Structure formats: C-alpha cells, structure tokens
Amino acid sequence: MDFFPNLHFDDPLFNMAVVLTAGVLGGELFALIRLPKVTGWIATGILLRQLRLPGMDTVLDPQALDRFGPYMNFVLGFIAFTVGASLYFGSLRNTGKRIGLLLLGEAMITPTLVGSVMYFGGKWLDPSMSLPPAALFAAIAIAGAPGTTVLVIQEARARGILTRTLLAAIGLIDMVAVAVFVFISTFLADESGWVHALESVGVQFAVTLAIGATCALLAIVMVRTLVSPAFLGPLMVAVVLGAWGAAASFGTSGGILACTFAGITLTNSRHDLVRSGEAYLNSIGGALFALFYTFAGMKLDFTQIPPVIGLVALYFLARLFAKTISAYTAMSLSGATDNVRKYLGMSLLPHGGVAVGLIILVGSEQSGFSDEIKSMVTTVGLSALAINQLLGPSATRFALTQTGEARKDRPRLLDFLQENRIMVDLDGDTEEIFQKLTNLLYATTPMSTPQEKFLESVRARESSQTTCLGTGLMIPHAIIDEPGDNEVKGVLGISKKGIKLNTPDGRAVHAVLLLATPESSRKRHLEILSAFATAITRDINIREQLYRSRSAAHAYEVLHADDLNDVNYFLEDAQQRAGLLEQDEETAS
C-alpha cells in the first residue's frame, strides 16, 4: 500500500542535504574499518542510486543529477586548481627527471598497452569491438584522480618521496590524458589526419593557458590594488569560477586545463595567494568533497555491468597492468628509490573526475561517434571507473603505508632537508662549496637576508674556526636576522668521492650541511647540529648510505627513515616528553 501518493522531494537543496548527510555517514563507517573516506562516499552514492523509499523511485533520480552540474564543475575546477598550485617550480628541483619520464610513459606506454589489449582481447570477448572504442579507452585510461589522490594523502598524513612524486605528477598526468584524448577523438571523428588532430591539441592548450593565466594575473593585480587580505579566499574562488566558465566552450577538458593553468600561474607568481585560497576552502573542504564524490558514485550504475562484465574486467586489468609497467619503467630509468619504483604504479590506480568528463564528451551529441561506440565507451568506461574508484583509494593508501610514508606529515627536526634542498656530486674548494650551497639555499628557500651578506657571514664563521667535525662531516652556518621568522633553514651537499679539505682527522669531506639560523632559534640550531652529528658518527651503515647516495631522493630516505626516529624526531613527541619531564620534576620537588 502506498501511504505517500503525493510525496515528492524535488527541491535541489533538500536533495543535496540528503546526499551530503548520507555521504558523511558512509565515509565515517568506512573510516571505522580503516578504509579511505572517499571510498565510502562513492559506495554511498552507488547505494543511494538503488535505494527505494515509499513514494519515491529513488532517493534522488539519477537523471536529476544534471541539475548539480555547476556544483560538480566548481569542485572539479577547485581540484584542478589545487593540483596546478602544487606545481611550484622552486620546490620541484631533483624531481624533473622522474616526472618527465613518468609523463612520457603515461603518454606512450599506458595508451599503447591498454589500446592493444582492448582491441585484440576485446574482439575475442565481443565481436563488436573495433579500433575507435579501443583507442578512446586507451586515452581515457591515462587519466588519474587528483582529488581522490590528494584526499588519500591528506587522510594518511603522508610525506616522502612517493608522496612528493604523486603530488607533482597527478595534475600533469591528467593534462597528458586530455591531450591524447583530444588528439585521438579529433583524428577519429573528422578523419582530417593527424596533423589537424595535433593542431586541435595545440589550440586547446594555448587558449586554456591564456584563459587560466589571465584569470590568475587579474587576481594578482586586484590584490595589489583593491582587494584586502580578508577577501583573498573569495578571490581565489572567483579565479576558479572564471577560468572554468571562460573555457566552458571546450567542455570539461577545457575547464580542467584552464583551472590547472590558473593554479600554476598563481603559485609561481604569488605563492602566498594560493595558500590563502586553500585555507579559505579547507574549512568546508570536507563538505565539498563528500558531496562531490557521493554524487559521482550516483552516476555509476552497477546494473550496467553484467552484459559487459568481460570487457569491464579486461579494461580494469589492462589499465592496472599498463600503469604498473609505465611507472616501473619510468622510475627505473630515472634512478628512483626502490619504494617509488615498486609502489608508484599501484598508487596511480584511482580513476576520477577527468575520466568521467572525457567519457561524457564521448557520449555527447557533438562527439560525432556512432551510438554503438558511445554506448560501449560509456557503459564499460563508467563501470570500470566505479571499480577503480572503489579499489583505487585503498591501493594508494596501501602504497603509502608500505613505503613508510603514512603519518609522516608531522613536523620533524630535519624537515627543512627536503629533496629539493639536497644536491649530490658536490665538489670544489671551500669557497666553491659555500657558493654552490648558498645558491641552492636561495633558489629553494624564501630568504630576506641578502645572499652576499649571508655568504660573507658563513665565510667569517669558517675563518674563525673550522666547521669540519671529522668522519666526513662539515656544517658551515651563520646566524641571520629574519624578522618574524624563527625557522632554521638549510641545504645539504653530498660528495661520493669525497672532498679534500683541511679536516681535523685528515679524512675527506662527504657531507656538507649549510645552515641559516635566526637569532631566536639558537637552541633549535644546536639540536640540529647534535642530531646530524649523532646520525653520522653513531652508525657506520647510516653514514655509508648517506655518503654514497645516488640521488637526492636516496639521501632524503636515509635521513627520514624510521631507523633515525630518535635523531630526526617528531617535534610534538619531543615537546610531550619535555612536558612529562617537567611534571615529574615538579612532582619530585
């Protein structure tokens, strides 16, 4: 019996409230069983699509999801903007080779393997499989899930070389996916040849770059002339909205590219503005993402899987295999650390917003493809994407845990020694060493003290008393005047062959740690000196690993390994221990 014949809940705000509440609850339940919340949000969306209530066909009619298109576009644009903002060129030193080879692998190895498997294996499973859908699957497979990946990293509180590689690459991988998709879709749709397809890629990238950069530069001008600091956050929101809206004629791919370029322009022009925008939205970020991914789950209909289960499984496995081979090959050629080489492919499994956008573009009336191709790409693509989104976050979380990078985002004593502040193959005399390390410090670290003044202070300190401590270690340093800044800054140079200097024990110098210490941080300065010297002199294995590091990434992993937790300790743990000691002393007295 129908007790609610006239019951209708069509108001968009009420629908959003129902979806958001359900998504939050689903995310919390998944968190209780130690699974990423984003997986719970997506699973909740899939469940809501099927759930029936009296008087309602579904909690929210999937066809009505189009009403929330502007909201979905805004969150997707914000994700793209955030990913672009992570590409701060000053912090990407030492990662260029890894990222470049990975993007090359994603542009060539991933689509080649996926396209070949889908064409030859797909024909065996489904005779209707042809080259066009196989090629479209190949392009869509490249796309990742920046938003999902960033959320998992934040939830896992991860920090390390794998985390750094992921954050630097995920946005660029999506840009590669869009470029390959535009090329393939243009080539297949109008048959004008590969030259015209390349021109289409170039035009789209050039126009969206101009749009994104213009929006970012206008924001910078307004901040300098009219906008007060209190409204920096809303202004960043306006940048996202403006970039997406201006590029809307190119569809989802154009909006994603424009917002990514806006983030890149802003972060490399005024890094502080990006932080203000992120801080403004972080307070409601949970609500934004919970609603976005629950809506995304509602777009994915598991009832479509049975008729094409073979192709779905084939596409999922082909993408996983291709991502693994592409990442492993790129990281092997770049000389990456073992952890990154083994687990990067797995951590790239999530498949998200950009892929959904590309699939929607294939199914649109303007695509020019036949109904058969549209149906196959949409059904198989969205079904496989559902599986990827359910399993992908857990795969990324597993990779971060296996590499030991989970729960490492807390401040540590030697945190200033990030990969971009480490150089290997250091050589030269004392003056050349100081000059090279000072150049690296000022290239990677904000410093208000003039470079020549700092360098002169380092020389003066060294001339009064050598900073060579023996066992191959040298720690030149200078006390600086940095108003409002009490953080110790520094860079590290490694020489595998050793540098012949006038050392107390006559041994060659293999590690040179250059420190810049504000007057207010002398105590922390002494703690760092003690910790570094202890790490080098206490354990010959640690010392040999550091001195023979093949790359900055290897040196970073040595210094931030769990074996050195008692030396490179978490600052909050040290503060807690100090507090307990003070309490014990008060009790004893």
SS3 (DSSP) at 412 = strand
Concatenating the DSSP letter of every residue in 429-457 gives -HHHHHHHHHHHHHHHS---S-HHHHHHH
pLDDT for 7 beyond 60: no
Average pLDDT over residues 399-414: 80
Instruction: Using the Cα atoms of residue 74, residue 76, residue 82 and residue 84 in order, give the sign of their dihedral.
Output: negative
| pLDDT on residue 281 | 66
CATH architecture of 69-402: Up-down Bundle (1.20)
Q: Where are the domains of the chain?
A: 12-63, 69-402, 419-588
Average pLDDT over residues 185-205: 76
Angle among Cα 61, 63, 66 to the nearest 5 degrees reads: 115
pLDDT for 69 beyond 80: no
| pLDDT on residue 329 | 95
Yes or no: say if 289 and 38 are a contact pair by the CB < 8 Å rule. Answer: yes
For residue 190, name the pLDDT band (cuts at 50, 70, 90): low
Q: Which two tokens stand for residue 450?
A: 């003039």
| pLDDT on residue 484 | 64
CATH class of 419-588: alpha beta
pLDDT for 283 beyond 80: no
SS3 (DSSP) at 477 = strand
Yes or no: say if 380 and 439 are a contact pair by the CB < 8 Å rule. Answer: no
Average pLDDT over residues 165-171: 84
Least confident of 140-154, 243-257, 267-281, 501-515: 267-281
Yes or no: say if 196 and 186 are a contact pair by the CB < 8 Å rule. Answer: yes
Higher pLDDT, 332 or 527: 332
User: What is the overall mean pLDDT for the chain?
Assistant: 81
Give the Cβ contact number of residue 148 at 10 Å: 29
Higher pLDDT, 483 or 22: 22
